[in-house]
C-alpha cells in the first residue's frame, strides 16, 4: 500500500525539499563585487539580516502584521465559527458557501478591487467628498492599515472553517449540562466551549499565521513600495537586486519563523482529554 505515497513523495522531494536544500546552500554564498555569486560557506547573510536595521525592520514588520492579523481574525472569526458549528438549518450551507466564496477570488484580483475602493480617486474618497465630509482625499492606500485589513479579508475563511469544525465536534449537551449546573452563558463559553475548542483555535491560528507571514500580493499592492514584508523582500533580493544569497537567507529566516510558530502552535495546545463521550442515536433535538 505504501506505493500509493510514491507520486506525492516524488513531487514533494523533487519540487520542495530539493530546491530548499539548494537554496540553503545559496544562502551561505556571498555576493561578489564583480560576480553575482561567489561560492563560500559563511553565515554573513544571516548575521546581516539579524543586525542590519533595514532587515530587522522587515522581520519585525512581518511578525507584527502576522500576529496582529491572526489575533483580529480570531476575534472576528470565532462568533461566526460558533454559529456555523451549532446551527442546523438551510442557512448553514448558504453561509458556508458565502464564507468560502472569497477563496475563489485570487489575491491579485481581490487586491486590485481594494485599490479601486481605497485609492485617492477610489470609491470611498469619492463618496466622502461627495457627502462633503472631507475636503482632501484621505490616504487610505499604501498604509499598514490597508495591508492588515486586506490580509484579514483573505485569511478569515480559513479561520472560520477550522474553528467551526471543532465547535461542531463539541456536543451541545456539554453546554446544556454546564448551564444546568448553574453556569451562565459567559461561564459556559469560558469553562466548556473555549477549552474544548482550543485545538481548533490553535490549528486555525497556526494556519492563518503562516498565511500572513507569507503574504505577498496584498502587501505589495496595498502596502506600496515602502511597506516591506518578508515575502516581497525575498522577491526584491532575487529579482531586483540580483542578490541571491541574501534573498535565500531571508527566505530561510521566513521559513524558520513560520515553522517555529507552527511547532509552538501544535505543542502549546496538544493537551488531549480523549474522545468526548457521544450519545446514542436518539438526539436531544425535539423528539
Name the site residues for other proteins (rule: CB under 8 A).
171, 173-174, 176-185, 187-188, 191-192, 195-196, 271, 273-280, 282, 284, 286-287
Measured from the CB atom, is 267 or 285 closer to other proteins?
285
Q: Nearest approach, Cβ of 170 to other proteins (angstroms)? A: 9
Measured from the CB atom, is 225 or 286 closer to other proteins?
286
Q: Nearest approach, Cβ of 163 to other proteins (angstroms)? A: 17
Cell numbers given for 119: 485609492
Q: Nearest approach, Cβ of 272 to other proteins (angstroms)? A: 9
Angle, vertex CA 267, rays to CA 209 and CA 208, nearest 5: 15
Q: Nearest approach, Cβ of 285 to other proteins (angstroms)? A: 8
Task: Please report the DSSP string for 48-109 in residue order.
Answer: HHHH-HHHHHHHHHHHHHHHHHHHHHHHHHHHHHHHHHH--SHHHHHHHHHHHGGGGS-HHH
Q: Over the Cα atoms of the chain, what is R_g? A: 24
Measured from the CB atom, is 121 or 282 closer to other proteins?
282
Between CA 253 and CA 67 the distance in angstroms is 16
Q: Nearest approach, Cβ of 274 to other proteins (angstroms)? A: 3
Measured from the CB atom, is 7 or 279 closer to other proteins?
279
Distances (CA, A) of 148 to 40, 132, 138, 189, 209: 39, 28, 17, 28, 12
Measured from the CB atom, is 134 or 194 closer to other proteins?
194
With beta carbons less than 8 A apart as the criterion, state whether 67 and 209 touch: yes
DSSP, collapsed to helix, strand or coil, labels residue 129 as helix
Measured from the CB atom, is 53 or 277 closer to other proteins?
277
Q: Nearest approach, Cβ of 265 to other proteins (angstroms)? A: 19
Between CA 63 and CA 80 the distance in angstroms is 26
Measured from the CB atom, is 33 or 286 closer to other proteins?
286
β-pair partners for 102: none
Q: Nearest approach, Cβ of 267 to other proteins (angstroms)? A: 18
Measured from the CB atom, is 48 or 92 closer to other proteins?
92
Buried b (16+ CB within 10 A) or exposed e, 95-124: beeebeeeeeeebeebbeebbeebbeebee
Q: Nearest approach, Cβ of 175 to other proteins (angstroms)? A: 9
Amino acid at each position: 500500500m505504501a506505493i500509493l505515497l510514491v507520486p506525492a513523495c516524488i513531487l514533494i522531494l523533487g519540487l520542495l525539499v530539493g530546491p530548499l536544500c539548494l537554496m540553503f546552500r545559496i544562502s551561505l554564498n556571498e555576493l561578489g563585487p564583480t560576480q553575482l555569486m561567489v561560492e563560500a560557506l559563511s553565515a554573513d547573510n544571516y548575521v546581516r539580516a539579524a543586525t542590519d536595521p533595514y532587515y530587522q525592520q522587515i522581520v519585525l514588520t512581518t511578525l507584527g502584521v502576522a500576529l496582529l492579523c491572526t489575533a483580529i481574525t480570531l476575534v472576528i472569526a470565532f462568533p461566526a465559527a460558533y454559529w456555523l458549528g451549532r446551527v442546523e438549518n438551510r442557512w448553514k450551507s448558504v453561509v458556508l458557501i458565502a464564507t468560502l466564496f472569497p477563496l475563489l477570488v485570487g489575491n491579485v484580483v481581490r487586491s486590485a478591487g481594494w485599490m479601486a475602493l481605497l485609492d485617492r480617486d477610489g470609491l470611498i474618497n469619492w463618496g466622502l467628498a461627495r457627502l462633503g465630509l472631507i475636503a482632501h482625499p484621505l490616504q487610505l492606500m499604501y498604509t499598514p492599515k490597508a495591508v492588515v485589513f486586506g490580509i484579514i479579508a483573505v485569511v478569515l475563511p480559513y479561520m472560520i472553517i477550522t474553528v467551526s469544525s471543532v465547535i461542531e465536534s463539541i456536543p451541545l449537551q456539554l453546554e446544556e449540562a454546564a448551564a444546568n449546573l448553574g453556569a451562565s452563558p459567559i461561564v459556559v463559553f469560558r469553562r466548556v466551549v473555549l477549552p474544548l475548542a482550543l485545538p481548533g483555535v490553535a490549528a486555525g491560528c497556526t494556519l492563518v499565521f503562516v498565511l500572513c507571514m507569507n503574504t505577498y500580493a496584498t502587501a505589495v499592492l496595498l502596502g506600496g513600495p515602502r511597506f516591506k514584508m518578508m515575502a516581497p523582500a525575498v522577491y526584491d533580493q532575487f529579482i531586483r537586486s540580483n542578490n541571491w544569497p541574501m534573498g535565500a537567507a531571508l527566505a530561510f529566516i521566513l521559513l524558520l519563523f513560520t515553522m517555529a510558530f507552527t511547532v509552538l502552535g501544535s505543542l502549546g495546545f496538544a493537551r488531549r482529554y480523549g474522545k468526548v463521550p457521544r450519545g446514542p442515536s436518539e438526539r436531544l433535538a425535539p423528539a
